Amino acid sequence: MNKNNSKMLTADEASKIVASSVIRRRKKDARLKTYGRIAIGLAVSFLIFLFVSIFSKGIPGFFQYYVTLDVYLDRDRLDPKGDLSPESLYNGDARSIVLESLYKVINPKGRKEKKAAKKIISSNADVRISKMVLDNSKILGKTISITFAVDDDIDSFLRGYIKRETPSSERRINDTVIKFVDKLSAENRISYKFSDYILTGSASRSPEIAGIKGAFIGSMLTLAVCFIIAFPLGVATAVYLEEFAPKNRITEIIEVNINNLAAVPSVVFGILGLAIFIGVFGMPRSIPLLGGMVLALMTLPTIIISSRAAIRAVPPSIKDAAYGIGASKLQTIFHHVLPLAMPGMLTGTIIGMAQALGETAPLLMIGMVAFIVDIPGGVTDPGTVLPVQIFMWADFAERMFIQKTSSAIIVLLVFLIFMNAAAVILRKKLERRW
Amino acid sequence: MVSNSNINNVKTKTIGEIFSKDPKIICRNVDVFYGEKQAIKDVSIDIASREIISFIGPSGCGKSTFLRCLNRMNDTIDTCKVKGSISLDKEDIYDEKIDVVTLRAKIGMVFQKPNPFPKSIYENVAYGPKIHGLSSSKEELDFIVENSLKDSGLWEEVKDRLQSPGTGLSGGQQQRLCIARAIAVSPEIILMDEPCSALDPIATAKIEELINQLGKNYSIVIVTHSMQQAARISQRTAYFHLGELIEVGETKKIFTMPEDKQTEAYISGRIG
């Protein structure tokens, strides 16, 4: 020991030293607090930026422009066979009936102007008429006013994304079309209202009629499959590892591997699914069943890890109590451990499911990126999911898809919020059993 | 079956009378290991029918470990190994044919910290009879629950709120609920692991009174840190030290004229 320092400090000296160090310590505390606030502020501002950007683009995506026309529904031309079958209506001449009623309003002269006029109304107009006739055949032979979605370029023009001042050669729509649109506006035939297509439509190359229903149902089906596979498997694995498995080398290796699997990039699970489910078992691609199975592989580690943590958090005294009055291992687990661990398990499961809901990469690997117009009716029908739909739309060139992409993101976020809220409510309910 | 001839023919370093006339549990040369570490060394003792015997000794002396051997609660610890023989009614409880479920139905246990299930008071008591199928109707079950709660002295306090959570009771009430839960399956023996160490003196007094009552019908083995408690409630006392059973005998004798120096030192507060 150093001789100079070997003397003990007096109380006065000590308190002086303490006092001087207190100021330094307080400053440090204050600095740390400031850093924390800056970090939170940054995070919140990013979040606000994200939400403002998505909602400002996405909310308009739920609305679109329509044109109202008085259409004479000519029975012979719409329904050439006269049996009102979808096939007959499909063969009918709905498209030209719509165009004729448009021509009546805007009076195009010559072939060039007629060609320009054709660009105004969405190509889906004939389908809309067929559907109306199918729903109510009494309207045949009458003249009624119907609203049709305008073509996406016209929509963008009306929103101001395509500017009148831009030279005609650089615009996607020419002066003639603009003249017609102005005429329709002047006659009060253009309206802006909630889109008929965004929530009920399916994938389409024409943005004005593209919707997310197919992807939404695909997501639900995929998640359902994922949950049905991953939850029981995950819980069973966790119970086995926590309560039954002998503590030896093999269980240790399994444990380490499960922890590692949780960190494996999701695209790897896609490749695994491609190789095993499609390559070896020959399952059809693009179906929600396959997607759910791949996502189940991905979420299993998350569920297992959180379930094990939940089981471990059950007080040993409760297990002792059950064993003490002669409950068997199975009774102890099912009557006491699982009910107490359930809230924690559900939390982990919901986190895993939320992850699965937002997952794109592994689904691309198994072909769920295919362009599928039909809405899947079951887990074996080809389909796609919301995040993949967003990914595809973000890739398309048409201006209108930008809004549609943001709209789909909003739907995905709302879906997620609902799932999390359901999880919170469920957990609260289960926890109330003291 | 453990043959009669060698039961009372055992070499032991323990001072005092380890045998009893009417033994319920017979332990002979019991060693307990936690992995490499030996926690119990060559313990032989009888536990008689309807006697209250207390295990005393300093912390870590192995009395709780030994207690948990008696209903095989140590089975849940992977590294724990039990050697020697422990028999209940002359049947080896570590025999492969013995089912721990039936064993623990015969030997109930009350723990140090009150540990009611996070369920209603009624469910707590009814759980044991339910899983063992002791009642065939709701009325029978109600009867068992009522009787058990009466025996544990809790009935008057909780009869109007049987459906409220067991965890909402006070510490002493919770412990009596745990005792009710243990006696609901009609055991022959009740093991108590420091049942009053988490309770205040008033609750402790109630539990002690209860133990005295229960002693008329059950064999009770109680581990305690309180020598006054041991002196108050037990007929026999066993003193453990460092995993060995040092001395057994009539409680009065142990506390007034212990034969062993270590026992005397502990009793008079010099070690522990």
Mean pLDDT value of segment B12-31: 86
Q: Which pLDDT band, with edges at 50, 70 and 90, does A433 fall under?
A: low
- B105: nearest CA in chain A? A326
Q: Flag if B131 and A327 touch (Cβ within 8 Å).
A: yes
CB pair distance less than 8 Å for B115 and A326: no
Q: Taking CB atoms and an 8 Å limit, are B185 and A326 in contact across chains?
A: yes
Mean pLDDT, range B122-126, rounded to an integer:
94
C-beta atoms of A321 and B115 within 8 A:
yes
Residue B16: pLDDT band (50, 70, 90) is confident
Please check the confidence at residue A150 and state whether its pLDDT lies above 70. Answer: yes
Of A247, A318, A323, the CB nearest to B76: A323
Average predicted confidence (pLDDT) for chain B:
89
A316 to chain B, closest Cα gap in Å: 10
Rg (CA), chain A: 32
Longest distance between any two alpha carbons in chain B, whole Å: 57
Q: Using one digit for the tens of pLDDT, what is the confidence trace for B49-102?
A: 999 999 999 988 889 999 999 999 988 888 889 999 999 998 899 988 888 888
Tell me the per-residue pLDDT of A355-376, one tens digit each, with 9 for 90 and over.
899 899 999 988 888 788 888 8
d(CA A319, CA A308): 15
Q: Is the pLDDT of residue B272 over 80?
A: no
Give the separation between CA A393 and CA A30, rounded to whole angstroms: 48
Distance from CA of A340 to the nearest CA of B (A): 9
pLDDT, average across residues A254-283: 91
At B239, is the secondary structure helix, strand, or coil? strand
Sheet holding B244-250, edge to edge: B15-16, B244-250, B236-241, B52-56, B219-223, B189-193, B107-110
Q: Which residues of A touch B73 (CB under 8 A)?
A: 320, 323-324
| Candidate from B76, B127, B165 with C-beta closest to A325 | B127
Cα–Cα distance for residue pair A65/A194, rounded to 1 Å: 9
Q: Which of A131-145, A246-260, B227-241 is predicted least confidently?
A: A131-145
Structure tokens at B217: 């019908």
B110 touches B179 (CB < 8 A):
yes
Query: What average pLDDT does range A405-414 have in this prediction?
Result: 92
Name the packing angle between helices A213-239 and A386-395 (round to 10°): 140
- Record: contact A326-B103, CB cut-off 8 A: yes
B8 vs chain A: nearest CA distance in angstroms? Answer: 30
Interface contact A325-B118, CB threshold 8 A:
no
Cβ of B128 within 8 Å of Cβ of A336? The answer is no
Please tell me the predicted confidence (pLDDT) of residue B1: 43
Question: Which residues in A52-187 belong to E strands, given as ranges?
Answer: 63-72, 143-149
Which residues on A lie below 8 Å from B117 (Cβ)? 318, 321-322, 336
Run of H or E residues at B227: helix B227-233
Say which residue, B47 or B21, is predicted with more confidence: B47
- Chosen for mutation from A325, A334, A338, A434 (greatest number of chain B CBs closer than 10 Å) is A325
| pLDDT band of B3, cuts 50, 70, 90 | very low
pLDDT score for B178: 94
What pLDDT sits at residue A131?
Answer: 85
Average pLDDT, chain A: 88
Domain locations in chain A?
Answer: 63-194, 213-433
Nearest by CB: A321 against B71, B102, B117: B117
Q: How far apart are the CA of A321 and the nearest CA of chain B, in angstroms?
A: 7
User: Residue B5: what pLDDT?
Assistant: 46
- CA dist A216 to A199, A377, A418, Å? 9, 12, 14
- Contact residues, chain A, for B193 at CB < 8 Å: none
All residues of chain A having their beta carbon less than 8 Å from the beta carbon of residue B78 are: 246-247
Token duo for residue B77: 């610890």
**What was the pLDDT predicted at B78?**
80
Residue A5: band (very low, low, confident or very high) from pLDDT cuts 50, 70, 90: low
Q: Is 90 exceeded by the pLDDT of residue B109?
A: yes
- Which residues in chain B are closer than 8 Å to A325, comparing Cβ atoms? 104-105, 108-109, 127-128, 131, 181-182, 184-185
From the list B111, B128, B165, which residue is nearest A434 (CB)?
B165
Q: Mean pLDDT: which of A38-52, A117-131, A148-162, A409-423 is highest?
A: A38-52
Q: pLDDT for B130-169, tens place per residue?
A: 999 998 899 999 999 999 999 888 999 999 999 999 999 9
Please enumerate residues of A whose Cβ is less than 8 A from a Cβ of B: 246-247, 315, 317-328, 331, 335-336, 340, 433-434
Cβ-based contacts of B168 with chain A (< 8 Å): 434
Q: What is the pLDDT of residues B184-235, one digit of tens each?
A: 999 999 999 999 988 888 889 989 999 998 999 999 999 998 888 999 999 9
Asked whether the beta carbons of B100 and B75 are under 8 A apart, the reply is: yes
Report the gap between the CA of A317 and the closest CA in chain B (Å): 6
Q: Summarize the confidence of residues A326-337 as an average pLDDT.
A: 92
**Taking CB atoms and an 8 Å limit, are A326 and B105 in contact across chains?**
yes
* Res. B104: pLDDT tops 80: yes
Using CB atoms, which residue from A319, A326, A335 is nearest to B101? A326
Q: Can you give the C-alpha Rg of chain B in angstroms?
A: 19
| Mean pLDDT of the region B15-26 | 86
ipTM: 0.88
Q: Do A325 and B102 touch (CB under 8 A)?
A: no
Judged against a pLDDT cut of 60, whether residue A2 lies above it is answered with no
Q: Which residues of B fall below an 8 Å CB-CB distance to A?
A: 71, 73, 76, 78, 100-105, 108-111, 113, 115-119, 127-128, 131-132, 165, 167-168, 178, 181-182, 184-185
How close B35 gets to chain A, by Cα (Å)?
13
In this prediction, residue B2 carries a pLDDT of 46
Closest-CA residue of A relative to B75 is: A323
| Size of the A and B interface in Cβ pairs below 8 Å | 72
- Residue A241, pLDDT above cutoff 90: yes
Could you say which of A315, A319, A326 has the minimum Cβ distance to residue B104? A326
**Helix/strand/coil for B16:** strand
Measured distance CA(B150)–CA(B125) in Å, rounded: 12
Question: pLDDT-derived band of residue B8, with 50, 70 and 90 as boundaries?
Answer: low
CA-CA distances (angstroms) from residue B35 to B32, B79, B223, B242? Answer: 9, 5, 24, 17
pLDDT of residue A432: 58
* pLDDT score of A3: 52
Instruction: Find the CB nearest A325 among B104, B113, B119.
Output: B104
DSSP for B26-84 reads EEEEEEEEETTEEEEEEEEEEEETT-EEEEE-STTSSHHHHHHHHTTGGGGSTTEEEEE
Q: Could you tell me the CATH superfamily of domain A213-433?
A: MetI-like (1.10.3720.10)
Nearest CB to B113 within list A246, A317, A325: A317
What is the per-residue DSSP string for A346-374? HHHHHHHHHHHHT--HHHHHTTTTS---S
